[in-house]
Chain A
């Protein structure tokens, strides 16, 4: 196995036994990233020099007799909507193409505190608005399993990088499925934590009541390690939960005997590819073999989730993105008065999907339409949240496909925004309810494309997700498969 294909917990063992140094692993990962970046295009910025010096520093901390933090020396990619002091943070938007933040996001501060090696900044749909990374204003990213297909989105760069060995692990952000859906499309693990578990300070805001940062990794144990580093109260984020998170690695290697798995009929209907459905059914049977008990649950209002989401999320986005006015930072288009400067800057700086969502959100909040659209969506959100509360009286976790299909072809859905939105039909309800969910590899299509199983748990019950997904992983081999991307010489 190549060094760049290893997991963080495997590398940690090798660091401790002095079999490897961070400098060696970092060099292997950075070379791999440079070799295949022309094919995969996972990164907006590759930080070779910063990574080298961080690895050297980590190796000093990993010296015998010192107690280095768990992620010391591990090469980690950061999604380019999280601020990195002194390192360009673009949100994959032309409007922020040259923005260099004067501060670190709290998640980045915590990774640096653990002496992790930041490899660079990964590509996304502009401002995290999209499900394929095709909306990036910088360039498209391609799926390492089939370079003619999308990696999913919006954290497509992070998922592709982890799948292809261009980073050992990565951060993602998830507003309606943006961690889980690309993890599913790229055959890696992606976790959306409970709203408030991970600080959003320094995460460029899209929809503040839905956005959440989480880990994208090659296996479940790595996801627990990365969540350990990220989670916890932050006074700089007023929506940060005041709880003391447990050590998530203590939830792995536990039995799932007697764990009740809810199967919502609404998630097992016609709207999915037969191969996806077959893989999910097989995975549920596997969990049964391991001692879990399937139970039927109802999520009656989930068919309304996409509609509610596209009103709530765009309304919040229209307000959050008002700050890009060309005055203090980012791109400016010249004009002879301030209002024209602002309107022209936004016209030239934002891509079509961002404009479309700002327009939809502005419309939904505007006089005469506010109650009919925005407030109606917030009421539907209440119903969706109550459905989950009721379902979790009967079960411990809920299982579903992560996405109705495997990775689709580049360009397949770009002409139809609505069809693209429906790619997140199973992930969106989780964000509206503020609860947590994980996507893990659970099979492949005949065309060798990964399929993801989504497991959902109540608020702050990430531990259950780690227990059940680790048990599944131990009993299967899906997570060990890697795409074979060869550098073109």
Chain B
């Protein structure tokens, strides 16, 4: 079985921006190990000459004219904001004081 160390689980949780409890770290480690063990069956397939498919149909970039269209008003855009001030979204300080 794939070994998933608690350090690796904590690293992935940091990349995922998820604060995990000790119990969750343990449980997700086991769950991920089980799932990765299962998906390892893909290694039975020889895919050396197979191109990847990220999308079912061939698509190229879709462009449109860059023209101003009606959009949300400031109050509409802020209506769901957890916190707002001076017509802006408000979050904790991003830059720490020295």
Which residues does A use to contact B, with CB under 8 Å? 98-100, 102-103, 195-196, 209, 235, 238-239, 241, 301, 303-304, 306-308, 310-311, 318, 322, 325-332, 335-344, 346-347, 350, 352, 355-356, 358-360, 362-363, 366, 373, 375-383, 385, 417-418, 432-435, 459
Q: Which residues of A contact B38 (CB under 8 A)?
A: 306-307, 418
Q: Is the CB of A341 within 8 A of B91?
A: yes
The 10 A-B residue pairs with the shortest CB-CB distance in the complex, in nearest-first order: A434-B56, A378-B52, A329-B80, A332-B82, A379-B47, A347-B19, A238-B62, A307-B39, A343-B19, A382-B53
Q: Which residues of B contact A373 (CB under 8 A)?
A: 36, 39
Contacts A102-B77, A378-B53; is A359 near B92 (CB within 8 Å)?
Answer: no
| Alpha-carbon distance A335/B91, docked complex (angstroms) | 10
Q: Is the CB of B92 within 8 A of A338?
A: yes
Total interface residues in chain B, CB < 8 Å: 49
Q: Which residues of A contact B19 (CB under 8 A)?
A: 340, 343-344, 346-347
Contacts A332-B83, A382-B53; is A362 near B42 (CB within 8 Å)?
Answer: no
Given contacts A209-B56, A363-B36, A418-B38, 10 further A-B contacts (CB under 8 A): A102-B80, A195-B57, A329-B82, A346-B18, A355-B18, A363-B12, A382-B51, A417-B31, A417-B35, A434-B56
Q: Which residues of A contact B83 (CB under 8 A)?
A: 332
Least CB distance from A253 to B in Å reads: 31
Q: Is the CB of B28 within 8 A of A356?
A: yes
Q: Is the CB of B18 within 8 A of A347?
A: yes
Least CB distance from B31 to A in Å reads: 6
Q: Is the CB of B16 within 8 A of A358?
A: yes
| Alpha-carbon distance A380/B20, docked complex (angstroms) | 32
Least CB distance from B37 to A in Å reads: 9
Which of B20, B52, B59, B89 contacts A379 (CB under 8 A)? B52
| Alpha-carbon distance A77/B30, docked complex (angstroms) | 38
Q: Is the CB of A359 within 8 A of B13?
A: yes
Least CB distance from B42 to A in Å reads: 5
| Alpha-carbon distance A329/B82, docked complex (angstroms) | 6
Contacts A355-B24, A363-B12; is A385 near B53 (CB within 8 Å)?
Answer: yes
| Alpha-carbon distance A112/B79, docked complex (angstroms) | 23
Q: Which residues of B contact A336 (CB under 8 A)?
A: 92-93
| Alpha-carbon distance A462/B39, docked complex (angstroms) | 32
Q: Is the CB of B89 within 8 A of A195?
A: no
Q: Is the CB of B47 within 8 A of A380?
A: yes
Annotate B15-27 by CB proximity to A: 1 below 8 A, 0 otherwise: 1111110001000
Contacts A328-B89, A330-B80, A335-B92; is A459 near B57 (CB within 8 Å)?
Answer: yes
| Alpha-carbon distance A432/B56, docked complex (angstroms) | 7
Q: Is the CB of B51 within 8 A of A376?
A: no
Q: Chain B: which residue is nearest A435 at the CB level?
A: B56
Contacts A363-B12, A417-B35, A433-B56; is A346 near B82 (CB within 8 Å)?
Answer: no
Contacts A356-B28, A363-B32; is A380 near B93 (CB within 8 Å)?
Answer: no
Contacts A100-B80, A328-B80, A341-B91; is A380 near B45 (CB within 8 Å)?
Answer: yes
Q: Which residues of B contact A341 (CB under 8 A)?
A: 91-92
Q: Which residues of B contact A322 (CB under 8 A)?
A: 17
Least CB distance from A486 to B in Å reads: 40
Least CB distance from A326 to B in Å reads: 6
Q: Is the CB of A434 within 8 A of B57?
A: yes
For residue B86, CB closer than 8 A to chain A, the reply is no
Q: Chain A: which residue is nearest B15 at the CB level?
A: A362
Q: Is the CB of B17 within 8 A of A339?
A: yes
Least CB distance from A383 to B in Å reads: 6
Q: Chain A: which residue is nearest B77 at the CB level?
A: A102
Q: Chain A: which residue is nearest B47 at the CB level?
A: A379
| Alpha-carbon distance A475/B45, docked complex (angstroms) | 42
Contacts A328-B80, A335-B92, A337-B92; is A355 near B28 (CB within 8 Å)?
Answer: yes
| Alpha-carbon distance A378/B20, docked complex (angstroms) | 30
| Alpha-carbon distance A363/B31, docked complex (angstroms) | 13
Q: Is the CB of A418 within 8 A of B53?
A: no
Q: Which residues of B contact A380 (CB under 8 A)?
A: 42, 45, 47
Q: Is the CB of B92 within 8 A of A418?
A: no
Q: Which residues of B contact A331 (CB under 8 A)?
A: 82
| Alpha-carbon distance A324/B47, docked complex (angstroms) | 35
Q: Which residues of B contact A318 (CB under 8 A)?
A: 16
